[in-house]
Amino acid sequence: MPSMLINGQWQAATQGEVFPVHNPATEEVIDYVPRATAADAEQAMIAAERAFREWRKVTAHDKAHILHEIAHKMRAHAEELATLLTLEGGKPLVENRDEIGWCAACFDYYAELQRNTRGRVIPSVEPSQLAMVLKEPYGVVAAIVPWNYPLLLMSWKVAPALAAGNTVVLKPSEMTPLATLRFAELCCDHVPPGVLNIITGFGDVGRELVVSPRTQMIAFTGSFATGREIARLAAERVKKTHLELGGKDAFIVAEDADLDVAVPGVAWAALLNAGQVCTSTERVYVHESIARPFTERLVEFVRSLRLGPGMDPDTDIGPLIGEKYRAKVEDHVEEARARGATILTGGRRPPQFTRGFFYEPTVLTNVDHSFRIMREETFGPTIPIMTYRTFDEAIELVNDCDYGLGANLYTNDPRKVKQYYEEVKAGTCWVNDPLTDNDAGPFGGMKFSGGARELGEEGLEEFLETKHVHWDFTMVRKPWWYPYGKGKQS
């Protein structure tokens, strides 16, 4: 049974409690992990607080070496980590192999980027002065990570946080802690004790990390409701928050789109990880002139995809993470059906599986923006389709949403591309290449999706705060009223 990592030591929960981790494809228990208490969270934060005093002084060269070693260990144990991700999260193994590669690349990226982190010298108001703008770490960062991409979204927080000189207390999702604990086991020898701590538990432990005065920053990816509560609690201490709160991403398919590319592209964007991606396509807008051939080909393509356990190499789409998540998808689909939507394929639990949280990939038409499936985050394998007449109308439909994480477009018309990225309110705009990440490109949302940025230089800046140093090196005595007296302005 795995243990928690606190101050470089592996230990059980203070009260000795554990909880099970299930395989969503079989509903069987894989393993048990410690159920942390407030006392465990406090112990981890104290360890991180103490370690920060020295970690912030570590040179850029030495930090780069540590981060590169972590990346190396992840690649060396990629198959083991990917297998754990598949067993606890349900994604097909091939997708989790990709996830490990992306994680390692993220640590390598920030290993090098932090070498070039710098402030600046600014003009002084008098010759005897030196004015500098410095960038320094916040201190202890609480990183709360969701279940859909446990190691990737961990990497997007931990790598820049450590690179910036912060220490971290990490809480993985209670549904997917196993790969994260194994990651820590592989990498803890390279990180000084207390710099990275991992506790496993539920929302009560996460809340403790948010409200404690020992944490200076909260980095969270998850639902809007939870993010809003974190923001409220953190605001009581005017604490820095870094929130990525999901989306309701749209996809425009223009009349000039190549359907040989657009059909599998839309399916990929909507059904990757069974639609359990923050940037999953959850709304599709197709020009009316191509709606029929596009929809027919999309249905045919979706029907060709194979549902199954993630460890089966023939599986294209795995299960949803749990029963309540499948129930939400079912509620959205059933409400749409009751209000007149047409289910072209899917819309049910697959009869061939008696266990596991499977749901057939579903294509719907005859929907509109009054339906929940077009307004709320579904987070499942659904593709609701609407048509549009003009590109202005398509842009208006995309923006008619509280969320603004990402948006997609298929077209070969540069005028449409320019209008799209200028007018769509979304943190990432993909054109002809959906859901592609770039370590050097910032990722984050607008509106209810949160304003934080991960990856890129912006992702490192999020974990640094700015200090102005004003130094008069002559120590010349000034009048007591200086600089607020005659002819001076404050």
Residues 43 and 193 sit within 8 Å (Cβ to Cβ)? no
Concatenate the DSSP letters of all residues of 75-121 into one string: HHTHHHHHHHHHHHH---HHHHHHHHHHHHHHHHHHHHHGGG---EE
Tally Cβ neighbours within 10 Å of residue 225: 10
Q: What angle do CA 266, 268, 274 make, to 5 degrees?
A: 120
Task: Return the SS3 of 208.
Answer: helix
Burial 51-64 (b: 16+ CB within 10 A, else e): bbeebeeeebeebb
**If you search the block for the tokens 């940037």, which residue do you land on?**
279
- What's the rounded Cα separation, in Å, for the pair 209 and 207? 5
Tally Cβ neighbours within 10 Å of residue 461: 16
Burial of residue 480 (number of CB atoms within 10 Å: 0-12, 13-18, 19+): exposed
**Chain centroid to CA 143: how far?**
11
Among residues 188, 278, 454, 462, the one annotated as catalytic is: 278
- Checking 476-480 for CB contacts under 8 A at 24+ apart, the result is 476/128
Among residues 244, 282, 360, 462, the one annotated as catalytic is: 244
**Nearest Cα to 451, choosing from 230, 245, 183?**
245
Q: What angle do CA 270, 431, 150 make, to 5 degrees?
A: 45
What DSSP character marks residue 443? Answer: B
**Chain centroid to CA 362: how far?**
25
- What's the rounded Cα separation, in Å, for the pair 170 and 189? 17
Residues 299 and 344 sit within 8 Å (Cβ to Cβ)? yes
Q: Is 278 a catalytic residue?
A: yes
Residues 423 and 398 sit within 8 Å (Cβ to Cβ)? no
Task: Return the SS3 of 66.
Answer: helix
**Nearest Cα to 283, choosing from 134, 167, 424?**
424
- What's the rounded Cα separation, in Å, for the pair 72 and 360? 38
Encoded amino acid at 186, one letter: L
Q: Is 103 a catalytic residue?
A: no
Residues acting as catalytic residues = 244, 278
